[in-house]
Structure 1
Amino acid sequence: MTLADCDRVAEIRVRGWQSAYRGLIPQDHLDALSVRADAARRREHLERAGAEVVNLVAERAGTVVGWACHGPYREGDARTADAELYALYVDAGEFGTGVGRALFQETVRQVSVRGPRRLYLWVLKGNVRARRFYERAGLRADGVEEPFEVSGVAVPEVRYAGEVGG
């Protein structure tokens, strides 16, 4: 991913939230999401990220159609020897085309080369589509849940984990 990709990645991410989280997160919060503000955050994160944080994009015909980001697992403020998939978003028009699977497989490949044995990720408990995707990819909810609140509404997250090598 480059700085030039940030606007498109932000568009995919914001539209992804607005679609996937409809009915899970208060609509006024989803409506207030800004592609421009998210793109600025993506640029800031990309510029500050160390070598341990990897941002990947998938392109089709020169257009970014998906984004994934991974790095060390975050245990509070500490980083562990395990890996975490921080984000994986695909343009809605590309659902079912293998873009998400390709981004996930490349994430697993890169994590395996770096040495971590386990990959974790957090997903909203009610995000059934994403949960099925990760389960088909071989990850499993490990029983750990974390409270998450948006605009005063509880939207708990569940942790998924899987072996990736080492």
Structure 2
Amino acid sequence: MTTASRETPLVVREMTASDVDAVSALRIAGWRYAYAGLLPRSYLDGLDAAADAAERRERFAAPAPGVTQLVAESADGTVAGWACFGPARDEDLPPGEGELYALYARPDLIGSGVGRALMDQVLGLSPYPGMRLWVVEGNDRARRFYERAGFGPDGGTCADPVADVPVPEVRYHRARP
């Protein structure tokens, strides 16, 4: 799988076990960047890439059915982004819907085309008639990104607690064109 963005030459490919550490580091950096001011600072400061990598290795060794993980790799071979999708987890959805569980670009590469390259590959590979995703309500940058990719709020909301603080989220949907 190869995708070239306009600004950053990339290869988008399936994640391998050797990508776990880089994905965990990217994911933690992404959380700290995207959720600053939206999640408790103490929670973000306490995130640990090594602990995340250990958990991610276990999941990678025994993947859930239908889950696909992709990485965007820069020309220099570094992991620039990560996406994960599979069957939708919400029980109130029509059968057969998909869900984008995660999509992260390295914070220093936001706006460079990494996220778009990953999204294009996710949508191209998705066998689902529709894709859902959850986004933190106050994450305006992410919401604009998803809306430009054709997603929109579908009326689903939740407020899962993070460090005992409820964090409101909005569910988005995009039908297969």
User: SS where residue 112 of structure 2 aligns?
Assistant: coil
Q: TM-score, normalised by structure 2?
A: 0.87
Q: Unaligned regions of 5+ residues in structure 1, if any?
A: none
More helix by share: 1
Say if 2:81 is the partner of 1:69: no
Residues 51-72 of structure 1, C-alpha deviation per residue, up to 9 Å, x if partnerless? 5100000000211100000000
- Partner residue, 2:124: 109
- Give 2:104's aligned amino acid: Y
1:99 and 1:126 map into 2 onto residues whose CA distance is 22
Aligned to 1:15: 29
**Where does structure 1 differ by over 4 angstroms across 4 or more consecutive aligned residues?**
none
SS of equivalent residue, structure 1 residue 148: strand
1:138 counterpart SS class: coil
- Alpha-carbon distance in 1 for matches of 2:49, 2:19: 13
> Secondary structure at the residue paired with 2:39?
coil
The runs of 5 or more residues in structure 2 that have no matched partner are 1-14
Residue 27 of structure 1: how far off its partner (Å): 0.5
Sequence identity (%): 47
Assess, with a 3 A threshold, how the Cα gap between structure 1 residues 97 and 162 changes in structure 2: closer, same or farther: same
Q: How many residues align?
A: 161
* Residues 4-153 of structure 1: pairs in structure 2 closer than 5 A: 4-60=18-74, 61-76=76-91, 80-111=95-126, 114=127, 116-153=128-165
